[in-house]
Amino acid sequence: MRLLLVEDDVELANHLQAELARQGYAVDHVDNGIDAELKAELEPYDAVILDLGLPGRPGLEVLQNWRQKKNRVPVIILTARDAWHERVDGFKAGADDYLGKPFHSEELVARLQALIRRSHDMAGQNIHCGGLSLDEERQQVTLTDGQTLELTGTEFRLLRVFMLHPGRILSKTRLTEHVYDQDFDRDSNLIEVYVRRLRDKVGKQRIIPKRGQGYLFVERPE
Contact set with Ca ion (CB under 5 A): 8, 51, 53
Ranked by CB distance to Ca ion, the top (closest) residue is: 53
The set of long-range contacts for 167-171, using a CB threshold of 8 Å and a minimum separation of 24, is 167/216, 167/217, 167/218, 167/219, 168/216, 168/217, 169/210, 169/213, 169/214, 169/215, 169/216, 170/214, 170/215, 170/216, 170/217, 171/213, 171/214
Q: Which is nearer to Ca ion, 49 or 207 (CB)?
A: 49
Minimum CB separation of residue 7 from Ca ion in Å reads: 7
Q: Would you say 8 or 181 has its CB closer to Ca ion?
A: 8
Q: Between residues 46 and 51, which has the closer beta carbon with respect to Ca ion?
A: 51
CB-based contacts of 104, cutoff 8 Å, min separation 6: none
Least CB distance from residue 31 to Ca ion, whole Å? 9
Q: How far is the CB of 140 from Ca ion (least distance, A)?
A: 37
**C-beta of 80: minimal distance to Ca ion in Å?**
9
Q: Which is nearer to Ca ion, 12 or 218 (CB)?
A: 12
- CA–chain centroid gap for 56, Å, is 25
51 or 177, CB closer to Ca ion?
51
Q: Residue 214 forms beta bridges with which residues?
A: 210
Residue 211 Cβ vs Ca ion, minimum distance, rounded to whole Å: 47
